[in-house]
Amino acid sequence: MSQFNPCITDDGSYTFFSEEFGQTFHSKYGAREESIYKYAIPTLLAQKASRGHLRILDICYGLGYNSAAALATIWRSHPDCTVEIIALELDRAVPISAIEHNLLGDWEEPIPQLLTRFVGAGIVETERLKAQLIFGDARQTIGQVIAREFTADAIFLDPFSPTACPQLWTLEFIDRVAKCCASDGIIATYSCASAVRTALVAAGLFVGDTSPVGRKSPGTVASFTSSQLAPLSQQELEHLQTRAAVPYRDLTLSDSMAKIIIRRELEQDDCGLETTSQWKKRWRK
């Protein structure tokens, strides 16, 4: 049996705890609910399924909930829609452990069966689903996605938090993510960190909010088309002008977590921007 032990969340679904990153893979509110309301719904998959074919890039595949939620959302709306998925994951043990514990068993058939085959073989191809799971550091493996000119209708950006895993929230990495987004595609993430939103804007994207799920703060959606997004409030826009919005940088896409964090702290010290506490005081007046 795997090294990961399931932890129950408030909606009855399970997640894992990562010793390496010191965080659970999902919020306490619910792993299943998070995958639906942070990823599948905000990327408008149910509506776009009417096109008959959709492409998804699942960054940090993890336990597989986001891909499962996407397939369920698409096929409930349009059962004949064909789907292509490319999923990136660092640790092979995570999706394998999810299958061993049958954590995807609550999704309707044939989703558990398909994703079990997907994790076991790294690839699955049926009449409705063509998918590949690529293991390794996403900073490098995303190059394979770009080389294939794979442009996704929906991109799920789901690493551990920016403070725990800044490597996948940098200007340079998010610029590569944007290269994989279709002209009217949507990138969704649970994070509303200003440094993340700054990086998305720097990549040429518009950003908007998603509804909070189990906490006060919203998630973020980004697209080259602003009409698909709920715009940020004036308060949120002003937060993008504070020290918190100084982005993470990783010019070679190979730096350590510590080096990326230290570089950002030094840049924050010299930026001369308002602090988050000052911003909060202004908005409490």
225 inside domain: yes
Give residue-wise pLDDT tens across range 90-145.
Answer: 999 999 999 999 999 989 999 999 999 999 999 999 999 999 999 999 999 999 99
Instruction: In whole angstroms, give the CA distance from residue 231 to residue 221.
Output: 10
- Residue 21 has a pLDDT of 63
* pLDDT over 70, % of the chain: 96
**How many domains, in total, are found in the chain?**
1
- Decide if pLDDT at 26 tops 70: no
- Residue 73 has a pLDDT of 98
253 inside domain: no
Threshold 0.75, pTM exceeds = yes
Please report how the helices 194-202 and 171-179 are oriented relative to each other, as an axis angle in degrees rounded to 10: 50
Grade residue 41 by pLDDT with cuts at 50, 70 and 90.
very high
Residue-by-residue DSSP string for 178-190: HHTEEEEEEEEES
Give the structural domain span for 46.
7-232
CATH number at residue 15: 3.40.50.150
- Decide if pLDDT at 2 tops 60: no
65 inside domain: yes
- Mean pLDDT for the stretch of residues 1-11: 71
Grade residue 1 by pLDDT with cuts at 50, 70 and 90.
very low
44: left (phi over 0), alpha (psi -120 to 50) or beta: left
- Residue 19 has a pLDDT of 72
Instruction: In whole angstroms, give the CA distance from residue 137 to residue 116.
Output: 22
Say which residues have a Cβ less than 8 Å from residue 17's Cβ, sequence separation at least 6. Answer: 4, 5, 7, 23, 24, 25
261 inside domain: no
Per-chain mean pLDDT for the chain: 92
- Mean pLDDT for the stretch of residues 139-166: 96
